Amino acid sequence: DAGVIQSPRHEVTEMGQEVTLRCKPISGHDYLFWYRQTMMRGLELLIYFNNNVPIDDSGMPEDRFSAKMPNASFSTLKIQPSEPRDSAVYFCASSLATGAVETQYFGPGTRLLVL
Amino acid sequence: AQTVTQSQPEMSVQEAETVTLSCTYDTSESNYYLFWYKQPPSRQMILVIRQEAYKQQNATENRFSVNFQKAAKSFSLKISDSQLGDTAMYFCAFMKYNNNDMRFGAGTRLTVKP
């Protein structure tokens, strides 16, 4: 398997622009997670899906952030409008199921810089 | 709320030597899982080792082993025969049983010196 795929790997945009990050989970995985990593706050869970349904979005920082999972093989994280403080590395991860030691497998991350 | 503490922001070790990274956590749960992830300069998050809290036996994966002390809420990672490729950030993580909200520590930056 190719692992979790994220695109783009790097994104530079100007404040106020819309940013869309994309993720393809490992085939067959039931869960998909979006994390954000910053120097100040470390790794934070933003939202996760189970079978394409959002389960917990309590980590989403504000209404400017939204995430969708239209099917089992694709998810997006959108920021509109973007702000400089959104600059971070955004990771997508997937796993098979919960209730056991089901490891989350991470994608390579998208480094976002908002100018 | 669960918190994970890594008290060593940076560590270094000579190649072929052994190093131990510390992690403590705070929880009132009895069933949970603990993980160590490695993040090399490529930024990829790679699972190193995992431990189920109900298991008394410490997990081992080749050169990596843990010292899990449930009563003390401690979960240290030992890297034996350190290699240059072990240079990375190491994150300790906690996850409650049947819950996907994984909490990470702040990380320890490990440098393996030749």
Residue A98 is predicted with a pLDDT of 56
Residue A101 is predicted with a pLDDT of 57
Distance CA A62, CA B100 (A): 21
Q: What is the mean pLDDT of chain A?
A: 92
Distance CA B109, CA A49 (A): 31
Residues of A in contact with B36 (CB under 8 A): none
**Are residues A99 and B98, on separate chains, in Cβ contact within 8 Å?**
yes
Asked if A4 contacts A106 with a C-beta cutoff of 8 angstroms, the reply is: yes
Torsion sign, CA atoms A70, A76, A80, A86: positive
Name the CA radius of gyration of chain B, rounded. 13
Q: Which pLDDT band holds residue B71 (cuts at 50, 70, 90)?
A: very high
Residue B87 is predicted with a pLDDT of 97
In this structure, how many other beta carbons lie within 10 angstroms of the beta carbon of residue B68? 20
The minimal CB distance from A101 to the residues B37, B52, B105 is found for: B52
pLDDT greater than 60 at residue B57? yes
Q: What is the mean pLDDT of chain B?
A: 93
Tokens of A50: 């189970």
Residues of B in contact with A106 (CB under 8 A): 37, 44-46
Residue B42 is predicted with a pLDDT of 83
